[in-house]
Structure 1
């Protein structure tokens, strides 16, 4: 992840089937599909390691 100025913020290791939709306010929102192509919304908290 990089901010708007290009500063490196974090490196994320994500599931290969995750389609990232949004990253903001410490959360990553995305969509994954199951074996039947049913979509499921997932939200991951992005921890900067400070807490």
Structure 2
């Protein structure tokens, strides 16, 4: 999974129009820690997968 900042988010999502999954998560969130790996495993086979993590 590739980490995005606001600039790369704009480029990939709006300018390129790539079909992708963007995951918004927190490093300290216990649910995010469980869900993100499952999504990565299931979705990255079909879509580009990007992460925006709130610290």
Q: What interval of TM-score do these two structures reach, taking the shorter chain for normalisation?
A: under 0.3
Bigger strand share: 1
When normalised by structure 1's length, the TM-score is 0.27
Question: Of the two structures, which has the highest relative contact order with CA contacts closer than 8 Å and spacing of 6 or more?
Answer: 2
Report which of the two structures shows the higher radius of gyration computed on alpha carbons: 1
Bigger helix share: 2
